[in-house]
Amino acid sequence: MTDPIRISGLGYAYGEGELRRPVLRDVALHVRAGEVVLLTGPSGSGKTTLLTLIGALRAMQEGSCRVLGRELMGASERERVRLRRSIGFIFQNHNLLGFLTARQNVAMALEIEAAMPERERLRRAGEMLAAVGLEGHEDKPPARLSGGQRQRVAIARALVACPGLVLADEPTAALDKVSGAEVAHLLRDMAKSRGTPILMVTHDPRILDIADRVVAMEDGRIVEEAGA
């Protein structure tokens, strides 16, 4: 089976002409099914830019980036939008809508399934919230949830549509030690039970133990890999 992520010779720069600034240089990376890979490195090393390219959030410039069997080099905006529907995104800022309940926030991720009735979307959202330990909190708005609980809602939203890949950008950075560890281990357990690969950008040394591999970046290059 093809690896969910397979990258070679990837380069990316911001700006043009004299203002052109390379941020990624000859990056090669693969992620296997069910694998948890952490991207670490100093600010400005290119981690988030790499994540956005893998997530089809911006167009490729150089190299090859195959995600879930689709080549992103030369892909149209329509093709990238289609791929994004197969990816679950989790960010440091959970981006929940304050006027919706936890259940409604999660159910929104299923609206791409036009044929699915609203009742079914809400039922699946409730099941996913229970799976991340939020049974009994389904009908609370984000303001009535703790930081760790809000991030669990964000995880439920990312996973409810059964994505082929989860991309996470600093998902534990705003959480205390206990909540951060709970969220990180929850993600790992979900990856292993569902076979869903997770690529996570992090500066948080407290969660390195969840990784199958840790990939270190510096000055736009991968400089070290550790783990299985």
The answer for 66, left when phi > 0, alpha when psi is -120 to 50, beta otherwise, is beta
* Beta carbons within 10 angstroms of residue 201's beta carbon: 22
CA 44 – CA 204 distance, rounded (Å): 16
Say if residues 165 and 85 touch (Cβ distance below 8 Å). no
End-to-end CA gap in the chain = 19
- Give the domain ranges of the chain: 34-60+79-227
Task: Tell me the pLDDT of the chain (228 aa) as tens digits.
Answer: 588 999 999 999 999 888 899 999 999 999 999 999 999 999 889 999 999 999 999 999 999 999 999 999 999 999 999 999 999 999 877 788 999 999 999 999 898 777 888 999 999 999 999 988 899 999 999 999 998 899 899 999 998 998 999 999 988 887 888 888 888 888 888 888 888 999 999 988 888 889 999 999 999 999 888 764
Assign domain 34-60+79-227 to a CATH class: alpha beta
Q: If we measure between CA atoms, which residue out of 224, 192, 195, 178 comes closest to residue 38?
A: 224
Q: How far is CA 76 from CA 57, 82, 190, in A?
A: 12, 10, 31
